[in-house]
Structure 1
Amino acid sequence: MLIKKSLALLSLAIILVLTGCSAQNTAEKQAQKPEYIATDATGSKVELDSKPKKIVSLMPSNTETLYRLGVGKNVIGVTSSDDYPAAVKKVPVVATTEINVEKIIGMKPDLVLGHASTMMYSKDSYDQIKKANIPLFIVEDAQDFDTAYKTFTQIGDLTGTTTEANKLVSSMEATDKQIREEAKKRVKTKAKVWLEISPDLYTAGKGTFINEMLTNIQATNIVSEEGYPQYNEEQVIKAAPDVIITIYPNAKEAIAKRSAWKNIPAVKNNRIYEIDPSIVSRPGPRLIEGQEAIFEAVYPE
């Protein structure tokens, strides 16, 4: 009887050990399940087992977002166009007009953030990065605030900063709401605005951040076409804008000297303003600052 009891206890002990091992294995498997997941602009799902400690950013807006989310210290490679924040100037450059794939692979990053706007001429480079088994996430080419907010959240999900991304979006939405409400109070007659991107009269129309910003502040864009069309002088003169906004250096002086434009209200009244292009066209966290800048230029208190 004693022997049977001992055997029963031994069997129970073995079962408990095996059950414990099984539970441990299950827990380990669950812990190994990818927690940092997002689906990129190409429809590919990127899954990371742990927070990326080494990140390469191939677009200035991606870089700004990473720094704003508090993971700038993890950025180990950027493009030659990255200029904000100041700390990014100390980060190694891995892309100029072309992506230095060998340099990126040699860095062994945990995550590379590409961008849909460069797919046409960077596809081969992106493919090589993927073949090297380096996680690559193609960020959507945002042209409106809602899509930009989506990309912030996706980058947050991949880098373990979802909470920070949600706070960023909430803050920008709150500021946007304040600007819209103030615009409705302040604006009695909508100002007509001409946005000049370059001296050869390329501008911004529907489906662009600048057009959305003008709409949000109760202003009228004289451009009705989609995207970034090129205008001629006659079109601008005929539209008679009240305000001219430019995003390239020394534009104000050059525009003021155009003899054919002397009777345009914006020129006559010296209402030509230069704004930093990175805050009105770069799909990053400073977009709301761009909207504020345009609002104060078009409707100064």
Structure 2
Amino acid sequence: MTEQHRNADAYPQRIVCLTEEPTEVLYALGEEHRIVGISGFTVRPPRARKEKPKVSAFTSAKIDEILALQPDFVVGFSDIQADIARELIKAGVEVWISNHRGVDGILAYIRRLGAMVGAADKADAYARQAEQHIAQVQAAAAQFRQRPRVYFEEWDDPLITGIRWVAELVRIAGGDDVFPQMAAESLAKHRILADPGEVVRQAPDIIFGSWCGKRFRPEKVAARTGWESIPAVRDGAIHEIKSPLILQPGPAALFDGLDALHAVIAQWVERRGG
């Protein structure tokens, strides 16, 4: 056995990804051959849905089907997947549950996952590409003479505000999140707005919506009692960001998600003379 072959065998060969972001990262690194199962919510990259069996949702998983794939490594995200992780660990499977919540955490996640599969150099290059993209958007946003106040809605019933990496990306894109203190809360239950009138009082210039798992309805947002006085509602500045682009703590948010936020904010600024 060659040294190269021994080194290759030292890394996981059969990986199950319980969420989309490890799948997207591994495909981007050219390591997709290691993946034997993915989340049913995976849409990036599109070919993954055709090539890999879907064995999990977000809060549930087909444990027997996962075990039948004989994984030597399972990757998941957050405390919400603790029960899935426990069942797999009890069955003798090695499991890594990441719990990053900010932009820096996403970048570190890319590097860490790459290192775990023996692709540290490729992962570092990919993370540096993301860092360069972030810096470019940030530099463009620094030229804005005005910064809009932004309300990001992650769910509508109850109202849930955006998580930390979303608030950070809004800031990078050129806006200011109107609920920064809530964005620091990692759990959705701690980001619930008990009083929808609080959004009215914050008077955001732009409203972004990304309702995880269902289509965002701007007309429903605009029709909420008392919201007609909000600048974003009055000016028709209510925009959807597709959840796969922004609510996955992976590459999509740093590239397409950030670009989508920046495009809307730049348009708002342009309409007000820069």
TM-score in same-fold range (> 0.5): yes
1:1-301 equivalence runs, <5 A:
31=3, 35=7, 49-90=9-50, 91-96=52-57, 97-129=59-91, 131=92, 134=93, 136-185=94-143, 187-200=144-157, 201-204=159-162, 208-223=164-179, 224-225=181-182, 226-227=184-185, 228=188, 229-231=191-193, 232-248=195-211, 249-288=215-254, 289-300=256-267, 301=270
What SS does structure 1 have at the residue aligned with 2:156?
coil
> What amino acid is the match of 1:59?
T
Cα root mean square deviation, aligned: 2.4
Which whole-Å deviations, capped at 9, do the CAs of 1:162-185 have from their partners, x for residues lacking one? 222111101100011111111111
Deviations 1:161-220 (A, max 9, x none): 2222111101100011111111111x2122111111122321126xx1111112223321
Identity, in percent, stands at 23
Q: Any idea what the Cα deviations from partners look like across 1:106-136, whole Å, max 9, x if unmatched? A: 222332223343343224313224x2xx4x2
- For the residues of structure 2 that align with 1:112 and 1:244, how far apart are their CA atoms? 37
* Gaps in structure 2 of 5+ consecutive residues: none
1:227-259 deviations in whole A, cap 9, x for unaligned? 241222211111111110001314212112234
**Would you say the 8 A contact 1:139–1:151 is kept in 2?**
no
The 8 Å contact of residues 85 and 95 in structure 2, kept in 1 or not, is answered as no
1:213 and 1:291 in contact (8 A); partners too: yes
Alignment partners' CA distance in 1, 2:44 and 2:87: 24
Normalised by the size of structure 2, how large is the TM-score?
A: 0.83
Cα distance in 2, alignment partners of residues 89 and 264 from structure 1: 40
Q: Structure 1 residues 117, 65: closer, same or farther in 2, change over 3 A?
A: farther
SS in 2 for 1:294: helix
**1:32–1:118 distance in 2 versus 1, CA, 3 Å:** farther
Letter in 2 for 1:274: E
Change in CA separation of 1:265 and 1:181 when aligned onto 2, cut-off 3 Å:
same
Does 1 or 2 have the higher relative contact order (CA < 8 Å, sep 6+)? 2
Q: CA deviation at 1:77?
A: 0.8
Shift, 1:32, TM fit: 9.9
Tell me the SS of whatever aligns to 1:81: coil
Point out the structure with max Rg over C-alpha: 1
What is the rounded CA distance, in whole Å, between the counterparts of 1:280 and 1:98 in structure 2?
Answer: 22
* AA partner of residue 248 (structure 2): R
Cα deviation, residue 153, structure 1: 1.3
State TM-score, norm by structure 1. Answer: 0.77
Change (3 A) 1:126 1:110: closer
Aligned length: 254
Q: CA deviation at 1:271?
A: 0.5
* Displacement after TM superposition at 1:35 (Å): 5.0
Q: 5+ residue gaps in structure 1?
A: 1-27, 37-48
Between the aligned partners of 2:61 and 2:224, the Cα distance in structure 1 is: 40
Distance in 2, matches of 1:144 and 1:222, equals 17
Contact kept? 1:199, 1:251, Cα under 8 Å = no
